[in-house]
């Protein structure tokens, strides 16, 4: 119930909940098949699967109880049969890399064709050392979310006290800051948790991207233009405009690279660079006050940036408010 509360706050939902207990019977079947086929053997009362290049994997203890890895193999087989997925991504800490090599190799020895991929990530530690609930070195996500939203509320109250739906916007901004802080880093690198960094709304942060999206939306509202069916792209001759156009064209390739390497920070880095180029463009080049044909074309460029930025934020699971 507590997990679901956090998931709802973060906008995360699941189609299925299948816990370890769902695979107890299948786990016993895995052990039987492994022994019958000669893939596994008994060792000191336990059942193990041996490999040429890795330590053996225990799939049943001497008291005949199955283990987590046995249930993982059973779950992998079930998922392949039930869903026929193109890929099954196991997003688990890098310290489990050997474990997943063993599980996948054991499944293959048993004739289970699978598309499982281990996507490792680094550890989050505190300045005092590795997180440990036993030693009291821990940061609770719910507390972090509450602090981020409260900070967003204070900033909105200071900078735009007349903003409508302030609480809803603060929730978007606070949660966006947390998500971006995590997803903008290379997942394989370890992170040292710092409250000031995690709650920062300046520079390369989620709120900066959200503000840029809101800024583009505001420009478009002020223009009164609703359609960009006709515009002359050849009028975009300034260097700032060309830089934006080139950046927009790269978005598709960035998405492909991010999916190929399982690295969402590619999209985060791209979005930040796009936002920076856009803000430089808007501060240097007149948009609303330019000549009519040029104005429409530049507004079309603003709309293009807004759409790409919104889509980049969506891919990162971050809301894109139109007003901030």
> Which residue ranges does the chain devote to CATH 1.10.730.10?
141-315
- Beta-strand runs (E) in the chain: 40-43, 46-49, 57-60, 88-93, 116-121, 124-126, 129-130, 191-192
Protein fold of 2-121 = Rossmann fold (3.40.50)
Q: Please give the distance of CA 135 from its chain centroid, rounded to a whole number.
A: 29
Give residue 199's pLDDT. 76
Return the CA Rg of the chain. 25
Give residue 192's pLDDT. 85
Pairing of strands 124-126, 191-192: parallel
DSSP 1-45: -HHHHHHHHHT---S----GGGGHHHHHHHHHHHHHHTSEEEETT
Place of tokens 């891919």: 315
Protein fold of 141-315 = Isoleucyl-tRNA Synthetase; Domain 1 (1.10.730)
Give residue 322's pLDDT. 96
In the chain, the largest separation of any two C-alpha atoms, in whole Å, equals 85
- Average pLDDT, 10 consecutive residues per value, the chain (324 residues): 89 91 95 98 97 98 96 98 97 97 98 98 83 74 91 92 95 94 94 79 91 97 91 95 98 98 98 98 96 96 98 98 95
Q: What are the structure tokens assigned to 76, written together?
A: 């992998």
Instruction: Report the SS3 class of residue 163.
Output: coil
C-alpha distances (whole Å) from 100 to each of 38, 57, 69, 317 are 21, 11, 9, 27
Give residue 140's pLDDT. 86
CA distance 4 to 197: 27
* Sign of CA pseudo-dihedral 232, 238, 239, 243: negative
DSSP character at residue 278? H
The partner residues of 41 in beta bridges, in order of sequence, read: 48
> Which residue ranges does the chain devote to CATH 3.40.50.620?
2-121
């Amino acid at each position: 119930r507590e997990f679901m509360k956090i998931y709802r706050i973060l906008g995360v939902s699941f189609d299925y909940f299948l816990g370890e207990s769902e695979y107890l019977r299948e786990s016993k079947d895995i052990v039987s098949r492994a022994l019958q086929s000669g893939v596994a053997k008994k060792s000191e009362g336990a059942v193990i699967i041996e490999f040429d290049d890795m330590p053996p994997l225990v799939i049943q203890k001497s008291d005949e109880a199955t283990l987590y890895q046995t249930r993982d193999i059973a779950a992998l087989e079930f998922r392949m049969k039930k869903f026929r997925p193109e890929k099954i991504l196991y997003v688990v800490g890098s310290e489990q890399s050997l474990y997943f090599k063993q599980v996948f190799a054991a499944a293959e020895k048993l004739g289970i064709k699978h598309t499982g991929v281990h996507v490792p990530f680094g550890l989050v530690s505190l300045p005092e050392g590795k997180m440990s609930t036993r030693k009291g070195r821990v940061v609770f996500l719910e507390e972090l979310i509450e602090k981020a939203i409260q900070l967003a509320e204070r900033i909105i109250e200071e900078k735009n006290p007349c903003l409508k739906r302030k609480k809803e916007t603060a929730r978007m901004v606070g949660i966006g800051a947390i998500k971006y802080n995590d997803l903008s880093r290379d997942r394989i690198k370890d992170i040292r948790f710092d409250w000031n960094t995690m709650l920062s709304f300046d520079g390369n942060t989620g709120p900066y991207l959200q503000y840029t999206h809101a800024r583009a939306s505001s420009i478009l509202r002020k223009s009164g233009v609703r359609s960009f069916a006709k515009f002359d792209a050849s009028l975009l001759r300034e260097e700032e405009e060309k830089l934006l156009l080139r950046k927009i064209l790269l978005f598709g390739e960035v998405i492909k690279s991010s999916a190929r390497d399982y690295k969402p920070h590619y999209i985060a880095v791209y979005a930040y660079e796009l936002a920076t180029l856009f803000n430089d463009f808007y501060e240097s080049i007149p948009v609303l006050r330019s000549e009519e044909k040029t104005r429409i074309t530049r507004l079309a460029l603003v709309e293009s940036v807004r759409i790409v930025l919104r889509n980049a934020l969506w891919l990162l699971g971050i809301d894109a408010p139109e007003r901030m």
